[in-house]
Amino acid sequence: MPEDVLFESESRQSRGEIASYLRAVADKLDAGGELSLSAGDQTVSLDVPSQPTFEVKAEHEYPSGGGSGELSLELEIEWPEDAGDDSGGPLSVE
Work out the burial of residue 20: count CB atoms within 10 Å of its CB; fewer than 13 is exposed, 13-18 middle, 19 or more buried. Answer: exposed
Question: Does 84 reside within a domain?
Answer: no
Residue 92 falls within a domain, yes or no?
no
Q: Is the pLDDT of residue 67 over 60?
A: yes
Number of domains in the chain: 1
pTM of the entire structure?
0.79
When the pLDDT of each residue in the chain is averaged and rounded to a whole number, the result is 88
* Domain-embedded: residue 89: no
Residue 51 within any structural domain of the chain:
yes
- Predicted local distance difference test score (pLDDT) of residue 41: 93
41 inside domain: yes
Q: What is the DSSP string of 39-77?
A: ETTEEEEEE--SS-EEEEEEEEE--TTSS--EEEEEEEE
CA separation for the pair 19, 1 (Å, rounded): 32
Establish if 19 belongs to a structural domain.
Answer: yes
In which domain, by residue range, is 44 found? 15-78
User: In what helix (H) or strand (E) does residue 27 lie, and over which residues does it extend?
Assistant: helix 15-31
Q: Is 31 among the domain residues? A: yes
Asked whether residue 36 carries a pLDDT value surpassing 80, the answer given is: yes
